[in-house]
Amino acid sequence: MAVNFGKRLPPTCKLYFQFALPGQGVNVRLSGQVVWQEWTGRAGIQFVDVPQSSLRALRAWLRLNVPDDSEEAPSLSSVTVELQDTPLPEPSAANSALPIARVSAVERGDAAQQNWARLRSEPGNRRAQTRYVCRIGAEVYRVGTTIPHRCNLTDLSSGGCYLEMASPFHSGASVEIVVRTPEQKLKLVGKAQSAHPGYGMGVAFTLKTEDERKGVQQLIDFVAATAQKM
């Protein structure tokens, strides 16, 4: 789920949530980890080791209360959140030279994350240019549409990037990527080169004007500067 904390969280922190769902008197207790963050303080949380009692309560409540598009979702009046920092892993020799920006929570060795890492490192997704490993919340649009799709921008270079999203566009689709930094809003255009359902897609930038090239360079400069501060 996405939560607006109002400030950036430590990239490897573990969070504990406690709240009561509307209409229920039993507290739901959950733990989770940060999987993406934006500079505004908004972060995506992935639940970890959900107790069966909480899982049953959530599923039952969602079946009865998930609103349709015309209704407003109920809000929780009181939510308790506790943070617990966990140490960063030692960087390996293979990736120690890569600048890191917007680092996600400590990677776990489950099959899904291993598959995602494998897909991201395929030769078809690598660029000849210097690559920056990053994790930046963004929105991507099919060119000619106004429907935003939330994603995480990763593996940035001057030639393209990788967008992590559950439902990537088909190969060859023209896309527009919107990235917001503390200083500005950047729009990048490109074409999907490879699609991996459940993981994301590689995008090659189509830079036709000097302004478009400057936009990519500004984003690279931002990622590099962020990495140097971490």
**What's the number of domains the chain is made of?**
2
Q: Give the model confidence (pLDDT) of 170-210 as tens digits.
A: 889 999 999 988 878 889 999 998 888 878 899 999 988 88
Whether the full predicted model's pTM is greater than 0.85, yes or no, is no
State the residue range of the domain holding 137.
Answer: 100-229
The DSSP bridge pattern shows strands 100-101 and 133-134 to be parallel
State the CATH number of the domain containing residue 111: 2.40.10.220
Q: Which residue, 21, 53, 84, sits at the end of a domain? A: 84
| Spatial distance between the Cα atoms of 171 and 158, rounded to a whole number of angstroms | 20
The verdict on residue 89 lying in a domain is no
> How many other C-beta atoms are found inside a 10 Å radius of the C-beta of residue 85?
11
Domain shared by 11 and 105, yes or no:
no
User: Over the stretch 2-51, which tens digit does the pLDDT of each residue have?
Assistant: 788 878 777 667 788 888 877 777 788 888 888 777 777 778 888 877 78
Which of 60, 44, 43 lies closest to 52 in space, CA to CA?
60
